[in-house]
Structure 1
Amino acid sequence: MLILAIDTASVFCTTGLVSKNQLLAKASKNIGKRHAEYLMGQIIAVMDEARKDLSDIDRISVNIGPGSFTGVRVGVSAARGLALALDKPAIGISTFEALAFETAKHYKNRPITIVLEAHRGALYIQDFDTNNHAIHPPRIDTAEAIATTLSETTILPGSGTHKIAQQVFRPLTDTTPIADIETYALLAARKKTFGKLVPLYMRAPDAKPQASFTLPRA
């Protein structure tokens, strides 16, 4: 199965091509909020590097957020357009799912709380049990409130971990703030059913979406 994975939920624009759990090609660039300018060209470059055509793709995986409102919108729009043009499924994977999956590979049988920056003093949160199953839907909370509910064994991946460190008096496990692009592909490969592809917006955008983003004709 050949999977094109897209992650535009942060300042990085990242694309990867994965087949049978093997990364064939990858491109990543810190472009701020200019995802619309780079994404389609980056996808073509990755396909060329792997010597594959768009028609070879079996599934498309995309980070649906939370993250940059503009970036998530661009990534989801691209995935939808490609899925329509290629008649292939596009599968949304949240930042929470990807980080929890990646963390669980290194910390077996440990509860995981994903903590993401939400700006304005808040954090995006989702808790996962020792079997890496989500305990509840994502929520917005404060560092102070989160710190009071943590167990001694909880692993805290994500971009907002440093804010929790200011509230608890114990060292926090060093984990990555951004999941590898391969993780989004691997999770998409495991999906048996595909729901509607929609962004995971947990609050109103701080900026207007890029109006210049358009998909090339197939």
Structure 2
Amino acid sequence: MLLLAVDTATPAVTVALHDGESVLAESNQVDARRHGELLLPSVDKVLAEAGLKLEALTGIVVGVGPGPYTGLRVGLVTASTFATVLGIPVHGLCTLDGLAYAAGAAGIEGPFTVATDARRKEVYWARYEDPRTRVGEPAVDRPADIAERVAGVPAVGQGARLYPEVFPDAREPEHQSAAALAALAAERLAAGAEFLPATPLYLRRPDAQVPKNYKVVTPQ
């Protein structure tokens, strides 16, 4: 097994190689405006560090969000393209699940909350009983509207750091890790678990939209 994991659903551009037992190489950069510029060089970097070629991969793992429209698409399109060209499967995982799994590696057993920045003064979030067990589906809300539902438990993710009045017990990790995502995928593959399709989990309409009353110009 040789998995390439990528996730661009958050400000982190994160890539990792996993052989089914351990992480061989990883790259993590935080830059919300440069997903498209940083992702492919990061893939080249981890392959070079591991001394491997792209053709050696047996599967692609990709975080499907939730996340902002543009950044999320970069990782998904790249993962799907690699999978198609190489003729290997692509395995989708919820980005919040990757953060939850990383929280477990950091010593958080549960219950806890994962919250990432959704912009517009909102967070993408979900509750977890433990690092492998999510309670319900991911959601997007204003932090103040979910204060009672997340009270009394630790929280991880950048969203928790941005709103300390709602998430007073914010802990590491703050950012997504493809290494954790890959380890979770390897575990699920070994157990024969199902994965999500490599399609975006947006939860709301994109920020960029076609104007409703634009002027139509007809050729003369």
TM-score (norm 2): 0.82
**Change in CA separation of 1:99 and 1:12 when aligned onto 2, cut-off 3 Å:** closer
**For 2:47 and 2:201, how far apart are their aligned partners in 1?**
27
- Partners of 2:160 and 2:170 within 8 A in 1: no
SS at match of 1:148: helix
Is this contact kept in 2: 1:3–1:185, CA < 8 A?
yes
Structure 2 residue 78 is matched with structure 1 residue 78? yes
Higher strand share: 2
| Unaligned stretches of 5+ residues in structure 1 | 209-218
| Cα distance between partner residues in 1 of 2:198 and 2:113 | 24
CA deviations 1:108-153 (Å, max 9, x no partner) are 2x2121122222222222111247422111112222232212353x
Contact 1:112–1:132 (CA under 8 A) maintained in structure 2: no
Q: Is the CA contact 1:111–1:132 (under 8 Å) kept in the aligned structure 2?
A: no
On the 8 A contact 2:12/2:175 being kept in 1, the answer is no
Count residues in correspondence.
204
What does 1:55-204 align with in structure 2 at a 5 Å threshold? Answer: 55-105=55-105, 106-108=107-109, 110-130=110-130, 132-152=132-152, 154-167=153-166, 171-189=168-186, 190-191=188-189, 192=192, 193-204=194-205
Residues 115, 201 of structure 1: alpha-carbon distance in 2 compared, 3 angstrom cutoff: same
- Report the identity percentage: 30
Calculate the TM-score normalised by the size of structure 1: 0.82
SS in structure 1 at match of 2:155: coil
The match for 1:7 is: 7
Structure 1 vs Structure 2 CA RMSD: 2.3
Moved over 3 A (4+): 28-32
Gaps of 5+ in 2: 210-220
